[in-house]
Each structure stands twice: as structure tokens, then as C-alpha cells.
Structure 1
Amino acid sequence: MLDSLISPRIMEPVKLLGVALLYALLDKFTLTYLAGNGAISMISFPSGLALAAVLIGGQRYAASVFLGALALHATTSGSTVLMSTGLAAGSALEALLGARLLTHGVKFNPDFKRLKDFLLLILLAGFMGAAIGALIGTTTLLTAGFITSADYFSSLLHWWMGHVLGIILLTPFILVWRRPPTGWLEPRRLVEVALLFGIAFLVGQVVFRGWFNDIAGPYAYGFFMFMFVALAAVRLDIHGTLCLLIMVALQAISGAIHGTGYFAADIASTHLVNYWLYMVTLSLVGVMLATYIAAESQDKELLREQEEFFRMIAENIDDLIAVLDLKGRRLYNSPSYAKLFGDLKAFQHTDSFAELHPDDRERVKQVFRETVRTGVGQRIEFRFLLADGSTRDMESRGGLIRNSKGQPRLVVVVSRDITERKKIEEKIRSLAFYDTLTQLPNRRMLDDRLGQAMAASKRNGKYAALLFLDLDNFKPLNDRYGHNVGDLLLIEVAHRITACVREADTVARFGGDEFVVMLGALTVDKAESMQQAETVAEKIRISLAEPYRLTIEPDGIVIEHHCTSSIGVVLFLDHDASKEEIIRWADMAMYQAKDDGRNLIRFYPRD
């Protein structure tokens, strides 16, 4: 809010001075209330503030730390300019080094979504970063005569431990609380927060400050606080956990300083080392549990979102999605399956191959087994056999899902109905290779079939024959009755020719009233092959010469028409003739039949 009202040129210096003032006040509070009778506290909250300020605002906030520390120490009794400057420099360098270690070379998230982030804070900024501040600070005190050389190493250790604990407690608190927790202000939630902190505070006072000592003294053990920290982690996430840790840290060190409660004798016996170990352990346990629960909650929410995302996709696309076990049994079918198979309840745990066309079943099973074995999905086309006996053409691709150990777990199959696409493809193919009027192969298909016949003849040594037919009395019918009636005749001619040849032979419409018949795999003997070709040609000639009764729609008028054909025949074997030459020779033989009087059969060459 203030950032939007005040110019950035003014706001930035205000922030820098504000951090310096806050650092000085926090340092004063620490030395006054948390350091006991010495100059070194076992918990240095200013160190946590300094690191958080540099992490959030950048390196320029190290100047705020320096100014705050300098102002405090300069006003402390017995402090010299050199000592104040050295202590302030040590605090600033500690914050700079800690921030540098956390932001360069490691993936540190200041929101502490993972335990790894907290451990990085402890190891890099705490153990390593605090070492430079402890070294400079203790050396400065030694130089200024505040400590003796005999106390140097113990003071160095205590300084380091205090700064580590301050970083562990306050830095995460500041970083996390930049984003307030959600829902804490709701009435029921607010009551829960108040009760948890209220009871935890009361128990903390009993344990660390000796409240109700006559009654609860024998039972006031430090491990009670682990229960409240765990409860805060479960119910109040990391925000509540960090708040509770700071509260416990203050209660415990207050009891130690005043000689009450659980750590009453800790200053004399261990110089608060037990206190330090207790708080580090409590912090680790609390943050570990809070981050774990947060990660679990996030994973569950992510899983729920993914499930909802998957459900929305499955329910709103026409593709069919199936989840199968490794034996092909159905575990899930998307609602789109109901369009083909009706009620899906009967589908659960059934064999997914049962609905496949019998001719496709084994091939699909083989692809399924390969997907499970290799983990690589393959695209495959097959047919579903529906309850009414009809089929639907499908295109599918499967994918293997593995468990956390990398073992095959499930197969997800996405199928698409391509029936209409197949029909369109067949129609396009028909237009490309078949005559639209007679449904016979066209010249393009004939060219392909002739090439196959020539290759087969070369391979097996058997003759093949090409028959070229032209209708003798077609034009007068067209001229008198029009092309519609002429088309009826051409369709009937196609039927009659097809009825005269083997299924393996090819009948093609060459164009207009011209047709081509290709007879493959006759015999190895030329004379016998010629006889076979002539027999078929004669059969066709006789069939085409029979009268045609053509019905004109919609009037129902029946026209009787007589039409003969002239047929040219050429045999070919393993020779160097091209497809064009073979067709040309058959065409020449056909024209010879016309020249000789029509309704005849002629071979090329004539002899």
C-alpha cells in the first residue's frame, strides 16, 4: 500500500533505514534479555533478521545491517569505534555470505516447500555463513579486551551457535510470513489457533519457567513441546510451526537465564549447549514434519487436479480412453465407450479383446504384448465388433505406465473411430482407381495390374493375354436416346464382361465404349494359351451380342437394343515389350476386327 503512495526514490531509503532500526532494536533486546550476564547470546535473532533482509531485498540491505549494528555497539558502554566497526562488519559479511551461498549454485526456495530448503539454510547460511560472523566478532572482542585468549575458542563456539540458532528460527519465519496463512481468520480456525498456542504457552511455562512446580514439577519434561510442535505442523502448517518454535525458544532461554524449569542448571553445567541442541532438534523435527505434510497435501491436491483434468478430458472428447491391466482387462473406460457399447458397468474387469473383430484379435494382442514388454506404444488399426453385428474401424495407440520402481503397471489406450475416414479414403481410392459409372478399374488401375501381370509372366514363364473391346453399335443409341441410356448400356456391358472371366482376371473400362480384359497366368504353351484367350474372348463376344433391355426412369419405358463388340487380343510373355506397346497391339488387333466386318475376334500379330 505504502509503495503505491510514496515515490520509490523515497521509499527505498525508508526501507533501508527501517531495517537498520529494526536490527538495532532486536540486537538490543537480545543483549538485554537473552544474553544472561555475558556479551554473547545463545540465540541471536538479529542474525536471522539480517539474512532474511538480504535474501528479500538484495545485497544493499547489508548496509542496513552494518548501520544497525554500528549504531547499537557505538552506544554501548565501553565500546570503541574500532570494535563497533568490526562487530558491524562481521554482522554484514555474515548476512552477505549466507545469502550468497543460498542463491548461487543451489536450488533454494525461500517459501520452504521442502525439507531440503531448511537443511540448505542450516548448512550453508547457518553452519558456514555464521562462521564468518563468529570469527570476526570474537576476534574483535578479543582485540578490544572484552574476552581473554583463554576464553576465545569457547566464545567463538557460543557466538557461532547463537547465530546459527537465530538463523534457524527467525529467517524462515520472516520469509514464510511474507505470505500470510490462509483461513486463520475464520472463526473456527481462529479458535483452534488460539487454543493450540494458549495451551502450548501454558505447558511451556510449566516446563521452562516452573509454573505450578509443586504439582507439575516432577512431570515437566522438555519432550512435551515436541507434541505441540507436531500438532502445529499438522494443523497450522509451517506458519504455525515457526511461530511456536520461536515461542518455545524464548520460554526455554528465559527459564535458563532465570534458573527455572527444565534448563534451570544448563548455563552452569553445559553453558546452554543442551538448550541449543534441544532447539535445533525441535526445529528440525517441526519443520521436517510441516514440510512433509505440506508436500503430501500439495501432492494430493495435484493428484486431485490431475484426476479432475483427466475426467474432464475423458468426458468431453469423442476419443475412447481405456485403462487396462497387464493382461488386457478393463479397469476404466471413458464415457465415450457408451456410444458404441451402451452400459459401461458390464465392462469393468472384462477382457478388452473380446469386442475386437476375430480377424484382428490376435494381431492386436501381439501389439499389446509388445507394448508391455518394450514400453513403446504402437499405432494400430482394427475393428470393433458391435452387438448388432456391425463393425467400426478404430485407430489406437497404447502407452505403458510404470510404478515408482520402474515396473510395468498399467496400459492406457486411446482409440479413435475412423469409420467415416475409412469410407472417405475408400471413396477417394475408388475415384482414383475405379470408373465411377461401371465401378470397374480405370486406366490407372489397369496400368498397375498390367505391370503385375508382366512381372508374374516373367517369373513363372506363363503367357498372359490382353483383350481390347470396342462396342460396335453404341453411338446410335447415344444419339437417339441420350447419354443416360448409353450409360445404362455401358453398366450392363460391364456386368456381362465380368461374368465371363475368372475372379483373378481384370476387367477395366478404358474410356468411352472401350473395355480391356487382362487374363493372367494362362499356360507355358503359346498355342494352348491362345486357345484359352480365344475361348474367353468368344464367350464375351457372344454375351455382348445378346439383346439389351434398358429401362428408362422415371417413365419405365423399356428399350431393346442390339449391340455387338470387336475384340483385339495380344499374348505376352517374358519379353521386352512395354505396357504401352501391349495395349497398342491389342488396340490394333481390335481395329482389324472392325475392318474385317465387326463382331469379330482378331489376334496380334495376325498370324
Structure 2
Amino acid sequence: MLTNGFTSTNSLTGLLKQIGVAAAYLLYGVLTHRYFSLNGVVSVFWPGSGLALAAMLIGGRHYIWGIALGALLVNILSNHTLIGTMGTTCASLVEVLLGTWLLTRNDKFSPSLDTLADYLRLITLGGGVASVIGALIGTSALLLDGFIHQAHYLANALIWWMGDTLGVVLVTPLILACLQTKPEQLTGRQQLEKWLLLGLTFIAGEIVFLGWFNDGFISAPKGFVMFLFITGVALRLDMRITALALNMIAIQALLGAFLKTGYFAQEIASAGFHNFWFYMLILSLVGMTLTIYVNERKQKERSLRKSGNHLHLCQTNGGIGTWEADLINNQQTWSENCFTLLGSSAVKNPNYDYFLSIVHPDDRQQIMDALQSHIECGTKYDVQYRAIAKNGTINWMRSAGQVERNPDGKPALMRGIVQNINERKLFVDLLKQSEQHFRTLANGGTTLIWTSAEDKRCNYFNEPWLRFTGRTFDQELGEGWTKGVHPDDSDCLLQTYESAFDKREFFSIEYRLRNADGFYRGSVTMAIHAMTSMEFFSATLDFATTSPNKKAARESSGRVKRNCEPICTISLISSG
């Protein structure tokens, strides 16, 4: 995780980490100044820049204090004046802060270097761009210090930039790979391969850069030989080992130059490490680019396998198969579940004719017409048909798909699904039977029945209701039925209905309803909310409001409530 804010730590662990960063920076600086710098100050390889950037990317910006301490100690030991010491220290700090900001100012960079884009951002922004500022500030401080002459300003600035950039290119990926990525779980054979490749690379480096066995060669091995070994490491092993191998080769090359032996024997005297810099830069780019590319491929392959497993699980448990049809070559690819659902034998190269042979003869024309209409007119391809399994069983299936066209607009590919809908067809048939049964019961009696949907608007009236009101079904739909309610009863009825609907509770109310002759008749409505849906079911019975026997009316109301309950049960079944 990247930490973009300045924080302080008082824990012993945090203090030890700061001291560790400072000590590592000091060690890198002392060794580089003593053995591999041209004038005791600037070098074409400065590992401290790579260490500092890695520490900031991994641990956060509070590691700036450990970096500052290490840089300050290195510059004090270089015998600079106060201006030179403070200036070069500030150069290192500004450079690493700038590099960290350039990389973490958005979410495009991952310190685990998952993609090639991450690596390129690291070496260009964290290395090449940020090192320009550090080189200019540091060289200016040396100029003010009197350590370098004005005529040598640009040359020293260039060497400073080269050293810090190569430090980021070599050291930062090694630290990030070791601390930000998980090592691969290797088998015994893979472990043997890893150590064999590393061992061969080490021996090749000793031969090329340190002169091992050179007396037995007609001519000394050339530096390009190492590209073969680093390529093998990058292709076969992970990023950790590749970064380790690159740093191992860099150390061997520097030692050979210092000892004046091997491929870079004349490097210090003739080229001032410039050839070494270009060599290691190109070798690192080749090795890291290859290993990250291979790692990306492996990640994508793992992701594809994981997605394939998830798809297979979804298809198996969801009762869905997938297919892909090459419309140009009349070839198809079916998922394993496709064959299972269709009840057919798995064949290597299924095609459209094979599919039609599985379909019931009475349904084939329907499928051909639907497919032709989809391809030519763009209508939706979603068909239901019967498939004959190899054991003779007939299954109801559903197929849906979408055509894909080539740049010329011609149909080239079609992808879709197949689904067993036996249970759905059975449910629909039972639902139709239940609906018909409900309507038969509702229309066969004298009770006035209506239902409403989740929008509180009525969506059904039985035939006794329509005969009583003398209105059509379309006239009563929605809120049309309220026109038959007596004006004095309308507000109370609607308020009671809406309140009961919102609370999902039973209600009963008496009101006057106009019949087909235009007279208002007294009626009682009892309604209940269907628990399996958002519908309301109501039964209404009419009785004369002029009845002199109020007790008889109440008894009639009680009978209505008792008689309503079984009808409500029928409604709940049909609406579920």
C-alpha cells in the first residue's frame, strides 16, 4: 500500500526500519564513491537512488528521514563543505520526493509491477524524469562548493543523471519484487531449474566479466552472451529471480572493470563506465520487459482458468449451456453443459444440422424462421422448442443468441445460450389451470370480485360485477370502477382501501354501489392483501340499505365475511 502523507513513528520497529534504510544507503554510497566513481562524487551507477525510491513506494513518505540521514552521512564522508554537503543531500531528497509523487499522483501505478506499463512508468518517471532535477541541484551544489569546474558542469550533471537512473532501473525493481509480490510455489523440478539457470548465469558472468577460463578460449567471450542467459531466466523464472540475476550481472561487470579484467577491462580508462551504463540499461530493459510480459500472460491465463471454472459452475448449477456458431464455415462450439441439457452425445464438431436433428420435427421450422428473421431483420432470437434426447425423452428447451457481423456488415458469428425449461413450462401450465379454476369459481357465483395490482389500480373484475354494474371490463379497469360508488361514500372507501393496502392488512367497509339500472344498492366489501404478491383481493356482496331488519343485515354481513375466506384462498393461489 502506498502512503502519500507524511507520518511519524515512535515505535521501536519504525525506528529500526529508519536506521536500516539509512545504513543501507550509507553502505551503497561509500562503496560506490570509493570504487566506482570517476571523481569521488558522481558515478554512472548510484544504487542509493533505487533504494530510496523503493523505500518510499513501499513504506511511505515517512521514510524520507532515514533517506535523509543516509544521504547526509554519505556526503559528510565525501569531505564537502557545508554548501556541498547540504546541496547534494537536498538533491537526493528532492529527487526521491519528486519520483514518488510522479508515480503515486494517480492510481495508474502499482508498486508490485503487475504490468509492463508499471515498469515503464517506474524507469521513466521515477528514474529518468526525477533524476534530472536531482542531477541539476546536486551538480549546482558541487559547482558552488568549488568541487567541480564550470566547464565540467554538464558532463558531471549527465553522469549524475545516468547513475541515479540506472540505480532506479536495477535496484528498485529488485526490492519491489522481493517485498511487494508473493513468491511462486515451485515444485521440486522447478526449484532445480531455478538454481540451475541462476548457476549457469553466474558462471557465464564470471567468464565474461571476470576472465574465468579465458585462457582456454580462442577469443574472449563477448558481452552479448549474457543476453541469452538473462532471456532464459526471464522466460522461465519469475520477476524476483530476473531482477536478482540482473543485479548479480551488474556487480560482476563492475568488479571486472575495477579489477581491469574481462569484458569491461578497459572501461574505466577508455569510456568512464559509459559502455557499462548502456550495456546494463539495455540488458535490464530486455530482461524485465520479458519477465513482466510472461508474468502478465500467466496472470491472464490464471484469470481465464478461474473465469472458466466459474462459468462452468454457473452453467452446471444454473441449468444453462453456452454455444458459439461460425456462420461462415457452419461450425459450432458447445459447452459441455450444452450436450448434457440437450441429452445428446458429445461430438467433436457440432454444427447447425446436428442441432436441428435433435429438435422435434414439429419445431424445426419455427427455429429456422426465428434465426433467419434475427439475422436479416434484427428481431430478437429467443425461441422455445422441444428437444429429443438420445434416450427418447422429450425436453422443453429455450435458446437465445445474438449475431455478430464482420466489418462488411455480413453475419459472421453468433453466440448464445441453451436452457432446459421443463419446470417452467410445467409451472406455466399449472398457473393457467389455477387461473382458469379461479375464474370459473369467480364467475359462477353471485359475489362481486375484483383485484388490484401493486399500483393500487384494479386489474380484474368478475362477470357478476360487470353484470351488476352494467359496465364493460375496460370501463371498470384502473379507477373507472369508482364512478359507480356513491359520492358520499367515495372518499371514505378510498381512504380505507389505500390505508389497508399500505399496511398489508384486511379491511371491511359498507358503501353504496350503483347497479345497471342506475340505482344505488348497499354493499359490503371485504378485502385481503395477497401475501405472495403486491395484489389485493376483494369480495363484495350487495344488500338493500332500506332493509328494516338491521340485525338481519349484520348477520348477512357476518356470513359474507365467513364465505369470503375460501375465495381469498383461491385468489392467493392464483396470484402467487
Normalising by the residue count of structure 1, what TM-score does the alignment of the two structures yield? 0.65
- SS of the counterpart of 1:110? coil
Conserved? CA contact 2:443–2:463, under 8 Å: no
- SS of the counterpart of 2:430? helix
How far off is 1:58 after superposition?
1.6
Q: Distance in 1 between matches of 2:228 and 2:168?
A: 23
Structure 2 counterpart of 1:136:
137
Larger radius of gyration: 1
Q: Distance in 2 between matches of 1:403 and 1:189?
A: 44
Conserved? CA contact 2:326–2:412, under 8 Å: no
Deviations 1:240-261 (A, max 9, x none): 1101111111112222233322
Aligned in 2, Cα 1:390/1:203: closer, same or farther, shift over 3 Å? closer
Which amino acid in 1 is paired with 2:431? Answer: E
Conserved? CA contact 1:168–1:283, under 8 Å: yes
How far off is 1:27 after superposition?
1.0
Q: Distance in 1 between matches of 2:405 and 2:254?
A: 52
Q: Tell whether 2:400 aligns with 1:428.
A: no
Aligned in 2, Cα 1:385/1:146: closer, same or farther, shift over 3 Å? closer
Conserved? CA contact 2:381–2:401, under 8 Å: yes
Which amino acid in 2 is paired with 1:397? Answer: A
How far off is 1:156 after superposition?
0.6
- SS of the counterpart of 1:413? strand
Aligned in 2, Cα 1:281/1:14: closer, same or farther, shift over 3 Å? same
Structure 1 counterpart of 2:475:
none
Structure 1 counterpart of 2:204:
203
Q: Distance in 2 between matches of 1:131 and 1:34?
A: 21
Which amino acid in 2 is paired with 1:98? Answer: G
Conserved? CA contact 1:51–1:95, under 8 Å: yes
Q: Tell whether 2:25 aligns with 1:23.
A: yes
Which amino acid in 1 is paired with 2:419? Answer: S
Aligned in 2, Cα 1:112/1:339: closer, same or farther, shift over 3 Å? closer
Conserved? CA contact 1:330–1:349, under 8 Å: yes
How far off is 1:444 after superposition?
4.8
How far off is 1:325 after superposition?
3.3
- SS of the counterpart of 1:214? helix
Deviations 1:113-150 (A, max 9, x none): 21111111111111111111111111111111211111
Conserved? CA contact 1:383–1:391, under 8 Å: no
Aligned-CA RMSD value? 3.8
Aligned in 2, Cα 1:404/1:242: closer, same or farther, shift over 3 Å? farther
Deviations 1:294-326 (A, max 9, x none): 111112222222222222333333344444333
How far off is 1:42 after superposition?
1.1
Q: Distance in 1 between matches of 2:140 and 2:386?
A: 84
Q: Distance in 1 between matches of 2:443 and 2:360?
A: 33
Q: Distance in 2 between matches of 1:29 and 1:173?
A: 19
- SS of the counterpart of 2:419? strand
Which sections of structure 2, spanning at least 5 residues, go unmatched? Answer: 1-8, 445-460, 473-515, 518-576
Which amino acid in 2 is paired with 1:28? Answer: V
% same residue: 33
Q: Distance in 1 between matches of 2:155 and 2:348?
A: 77
- Alignment length, in residue pairs? 444
Q: Tell whether 2:418 aligns with 1:414.
A: yes
Which amino acid in 2 is paired with 1:211? Answer: W
Q: Distance in 1 between matches of 2:83 and 2:437?
A: 98
Deviations 1:460-510 (A, max 9, x none): xxxxxxxxxxxxxxxxxxxxxxxxxxxxxxxxxxxxxxxxxxxxxxxxxxx
Aligned in 2, Cα 1:398/1:344: closer, same or farther, shift over 3 Å? same
In the TM superposition, 1:135-534 aligns within 5 A as 135-178=136-179, 179=181, 181-183=183-185, 187-216=188-217, 218-326=219-327, 330-335=332-337, 337-338=339-340, 341-345=343-347, 348-351=350-353, 352-357=355-360, 360-369=363-372, 378=380, 380-386=382-388, 392-399=395-402, 409-417=413-421, 418-434=424-440, 444=463
How far off is 1:361 after superposition?
3.8
Conserved? CA contact 2:143–2:150, under 8 Å: yes
How far off is 1:382 after superposition?
2.1
How far off is 1:383 after superposition?
2.0
Normalising by the residue count of structure 2, what TM-score does the alignment of the two structures yield? 0.68
Deviations 1:245-286 (A, max 9, x none): 111111122222333222223334433222211111111110
Deviations 1:149-200 (A, max 9, x none): 111111110110011000000011101101452346x654443333222221
Q: Distance in 1 between matches of 2:374 and 2:44?
A: 62
Q: Distance in 2 between matches of 1:435 and 1:389?
A: 40
- SS of the counterpart of 1:120? helix
Q: Distance in 2 between matches of 1:396 and 1:434?
A: 35
How far off is 1:208 after superposition?
1.5
Structure 2 counterpart of 1:594:
none
Q: Distance in 2 between matches of 1:264 and 1:67?
A: 35
How far off is 1:386 after superposition?
2.9
Aligned in 2, Cα 1:353/1:96: closer, same or farther, shift over 3 Å? same
Q: Distance in 2 between matches of 1:16 and 1:87?
A: 20
- SS of the counterpart of 1:261? coil
Q: Distance in 2 between matches of 1:346 and 1:437?
A: 58
How far off is 1:109 after superposition?
1.2
Q: Distance in 1 between matches of 2:46 and 2:190?
A: 32
- SS of the counterpart of 1:382? strand
Q: Distance in 1 between matches of 2:203 and 2:339?
A: 62
- SS of the counterpart of 1:60? helix
Q: Distance in 2 between matches of 1:447 and 1:75?
A: 105
- SS of the counterpart of 2:88? helix
Conserved? CA contact 1:322–1:334, under 8 Å: no
Which amino acid in 2 is paired with 1:45? Answer: P
Q: Distance in 1 between matches of 2:394 and 2:432?
A: 16
Q: Distance in 2 between matches of 1:294 and 1:401?
A: 32
Deviations 1:360-411 (A, max 9, x none): 544434544566679x894634221536998644444324579999995441
Conserved? CA contact 2:401–2:414, under 8 Å: no
